[in-house]
Chain A
Amino acid sequence: MSLSSVTTEVVDPVPGAQAPHLPQQPDLVQLLTPEGERVEHPEYSVDLDDQQLRDLYRDLVLVRRWDVEATALQRQGELGIWASLLGQEAAQIGAGRALAPGDTAFPTYREHGVAWTRGVDPLHVMSLFRGVDNGGWDPVATGFNLYTVVIGAQCLHATGYAMGLQRDGAEAAVLAFFGDGATSQGEVNEAMIWAASFSAPVVFFCQNNQYAISVPLERQSRVPLYRRAAGFGFPGVRVDGNDVLAVLAVTKAALAAAREGQGPTFVEAFTYRMGAHTTSDDPTRYRLASELEEWKLRDPIARVKAYLARSGRAGSDFFAAVEAEADELAARIRRGTVEMPDPPGTAMFDQAYAEQTPPLAAQQAQFEAYQASFEEGGE
Chain B
Amino acid sequence: MLRQFKLPDVGEGLTEGEILQWLVAVGDTVTVNQPLCEVETAKAAVELPSPYAGTVTALLHEAGDTVDVGTPIITIDTGEDATTPAPDGAGGTGGEVAAGLIGGEAPGGRTAVLVGYGPRTTEARRRPRRAAPASPAPAPLPGADYGSGGTPRPPLPGADAGGDPHPPLLATAPDATVKPVRHGGLEVGRQAEAHAAAEEAAPSRAAERGHRRPRPLAKPLVRKLARDLGVDLAALAGSGAGGVITRADVETAVSAEPAPAPVAPAAVPAPVATAGERRIPVRGVRKHTAAAMVASAFTAPHVTEFLTVDVTRTMKLRDRLATRPEFAGRKVSPLLFVAKALLLAVRRHPMVNSSWDEAAQEIVVHGQVNLGIAAATPRGLVVPNVKDAGRLSLAGLADALAELTETARAGRTAPADMTGGTITITNVGVFGVDTGTPILNPGESAILAFGAVREMPWVHRGGKGGGGKVRPRQVTTLALSFDHRIIDGELGSRFLADVGAVLSDPGTALAF
Binding site for B on A (CB under 8 A): 18, 68-69, 72, 74-78, 80-81, 131-132, 276, 279-282, 284-285, 288-290, 292-293, 334-335, 338-339, 341-343, 345, 358-359, 362-363, 365-367, 369-370, 373-375, 377-379
Q: Is the Cβ of B47 less than 8 Å from the Cβ of A359?
A: no
Known: A75-B10, A279-B10. A375 touches B128 (CB 8 A): yes
A132 vs B112: C-alpha distance in the bound complex, in angstroms? Answer: 12
Q: Is the Cβ of B150 less than 8 Å from the Cβ of A362?
A: yes
Chain B residues whose CB sits within 8 angstroms of the CB of A68 once the complex forms: 33
B185 CB–A CB distance under 8 Å:
no
Q: Is the Cβ of A76 less than 8 Å from the Cβ of B48?
A: yes
Q: Is the Cβ of B46 less than 8 Å from the Cβ of A75?
A: yes
Chain A residues whose CB sits within 8 angstroms of the CB of B287 once the complex forms: 285
A292 vs B51: C-alpha distance in the bound complex, in angstroms? Answer: 28
B396 CB–A CB distance under 8 Å:
no
Known: A76-B48, A374-B129. A334 touches B88 (CB 8 A): yes
Q: Is the Cβ of B9 less than 8 Å from the Cβ of A77?
A: yes
- Least CB separation from B118: chain A residue: A77
B419 CB–A CB distance under 8 Å:
yes
- Least CB separation from B122: chain A residue: A379
B12 CB–A CB distance under 8 Å:
yes
Q: Is the Cβ of A75 less than 8 Å from the Cβ of B49?
A: yes
**Partner-binding segment picked from B90-98, B365-373, B426-434:** B90-98
The 8 closest A-B pairs by CB, nearest first: A77-B8, A362-B149, A282-B44, A378-B127, A289-B415, A80-B117, A77-B93, A290-B419
Q: Is the Cβ of A370 less than 8 Å from the Cβ of B142?
A: yes
A370 vs B149: C-alpha distance in the bound complex, in angstroms? Answer: 13
Chain A residues whose CB sits within 8 angstroms of the CB of B482 once the complex forms: none
A161 vs B50: C-alpha distance in the bound complex, in angstroms? Answer: 44
Q: Is the Cβ of A80 less than 8 Å from the Cβ of B118?
A: yes
B300–chain A nearest beta-carbon distance, Å: 16
A341 vs B114: C-alpha distance in the bound complex, in angstroms? Answer: 11
Given contacts A81-B12, A373-B139, A379-B111, 14 further A-B contacts (CB under 8 A): A68-B33, A75-B47, A75-B49, A76-B49, A76-B50, A131-B117, A276-B44, A280-B43, A282-B46, A289-B418, A366-B142, A375-B127, A379-B121, A379-B127
Tell which of A284, A290, A358, A366 touches B418, judged by Cβ atoms closer than 8 Å. Answer: A290
B114–chain A nearest beta-carbon distance, Å: 4
Q: Is the interface of B mostly helix, strand, loop or mixed?
A: loop
Tell which of A76, A131, A343 touches B51, judged by Cβ atoms closer than 8 Å. Answer: A76
A18 vs B5: C-alpha distance in the bound complex, in angstroms? Answer: 43
Scoring A80, A292, A293, A367 by chain B CB atoms within 10 A of each residue's CB, the highest score goes to: A80
Instruction: For chain B, residues 101 to 123, give those with C-beta under 8 angstroms from any C-beta of chain A.
Output: 107-108, 110-115, 117-119, 121
Q: Is the Cβ of B107 less than 8 Å from the Cβ of A377?
A: yes
A22 vs B51: C-alpha distance in the bound complex, in angstroms? Answer: 38
Tell which of A285, A334, A359 touches B149, judged by Cβ atoms closer than 8 Å. Answer: A359
Q: Is the Cβ of A338 less than 8 Å from the Cβ of B415?
A: no
Known: A280-B11, A334-B32, A366-B142. A373 touches B129 (CB 8 A): yes
Chain B residues whose CB sits within 8 angstroms of the CB of A282 once the complex forms: 43-46
Tell which of A76, A345, A374 touches B93, judged by Cβ atoms closer than 8 Å. Answer: A76
Known: A75-B49, A366-B149. A288 touches B288 (CB 8 A): yes
- Least CB separation from A378: chain B residue: B127
Q: Is the Cβ of A366 less than 8 Å from the Cβ of B150?
A: no
Known: A131-B117, A334-B32. A359 touches B12 (CB 8 A): no
Contact with A along B70-101 (1 / 0, CB 8 A): 00000000000000000111111100000000
B260 CB–A CB distance under 8 Å:
no
Chain A residues whose CB sits within 8 angstroms of the CB of B284 once the complex forms: 284-285
A289 vs B93: C-alpha distance in the bound complex, in angstroms? Answer: 32
A13 vs B498: C-alpha distance in the bound complex, in angstroms? Answer: 40
15 A-B residue pairs with Cβ-Cβ distance under 8 Å, sorted by A, are A75-B48, A76-B8, A77-B6, A78-B51, A78-B93, A131-B114, A279-B46, A281-B44, A282-B44, A292-B415, A334-B88, A342-B110, A362-B149, A370-B138, A370-B139
Tell which of B10, B112, B146 touches A342, judged by Cβ atoms closer than 8 Å. Answer: B112
Known: A77-B92, A81-B12. A131 touches B115 (CB 8 A): yes
A276 vs B5: C-alpha distance in the bound complex, in angstroms? Answer: 24
Q: Is the Cβ of A132 less than 8 Å from the Cβ of B129?
A: no
Instruction: For chain B, residues 19 to 53, give those with C-beta under 8 angstroms from any C-beta of chain A.
Output: 32-33, 43-51
Q: Is the Cβ of A338 less than 8 Å from the Cβ of B91?
A: yes
- Least CB separation from B187: chain A residue: A370
A369 vs B133: C-alpha distance in the bound complex, in angstroms? Answer: 10
Known: A75-B48, A339-B90, A365-B149. A293 touches B416 (CB 8 A): yes
Chain B residues whose CB sits within 8 angstroms of the CB of A338 once the complex forms: 88-92
A263 vs B409: C-alpha distance in the bound complex, in angstroms? Answer: 58
B241–chain A nearest beta-carbon distance, Å: 30
A31 vs B52: C-alpha distance in the bound complex, in angstroms? Answer: 43
Instruction: For chain B, residues 462 to 483, give those with C-beta under 8 angstroms from any C-beta of chain A.
Output: none
Scoring A280, A281, A359, A367 by chain B CB atoms within 10 A of each residue's CB, the highest score goes to: A280
Q: Is the Cβ of B113 less than 8 Å from the Cβ of A335?
A: no
Chain A residues whose CB sits within 8 angstroms of the CB of B108 once the complex forms: 377
B283 CB–A CB distance under 8 Å:
yes
B361–chain A nearest beta-carbon distance, Å: 15
Q: Is the Cβ of B419 less than 8 Å from the Cβ of A375?
A: no
B141 CB–A CB distance under 8 Å:
yes
B157 CB–A CB distance under 8 Å:
no
B143 CB–A CB distance under 8 Å:
yes
Contact with A along B335-349 (1 / 0, CB 8 A): 000000000000000
B140 CB–A CB distance under 8 Å:
yes
B412 CB–A CB distance under 8 Å:
no
Chain A residues whose CB sits within 8 angstroms of the CB of B32 once the complex forms: 334
Q: Is the Cβ of B92 less than 8 Å from the Cβ of A78?
A: yes
Q: Is the Cβ of B113 less than 8 Å from the Cβ of A131?
A: yes
Q: Is the Cβ of B130 less than 8 Å from the Cβ of A375?
A: yes
Chain A residues whose CB sits within 8 angstroms of the CB of B90 once the complex forms: 338-339
Q: Is the Cβ of A293 less than 8 Å from the Cβ of B415?
A: yes
Chain A residues whose CB sits within 8 angstroms of the CB of B147 once the complex forms: 359
- Least CB separation from B117: chain A residue: A80
A262–chain B nearest beta-carbon distance, Å: 39
Q: Is the Cβ of A358 less than 8 Å from the Cβ of B12?
A: no
Chain B residues whose CB sits within 8 angstroms of the CB of A132 once the complex forms: 114
Q: Is the Cβ of A363 less than 8 Å from the Cβ of B142?
A: yes
A81 vs B119: C-alpha distance in the bound complex, in angstroms? Answer: 13
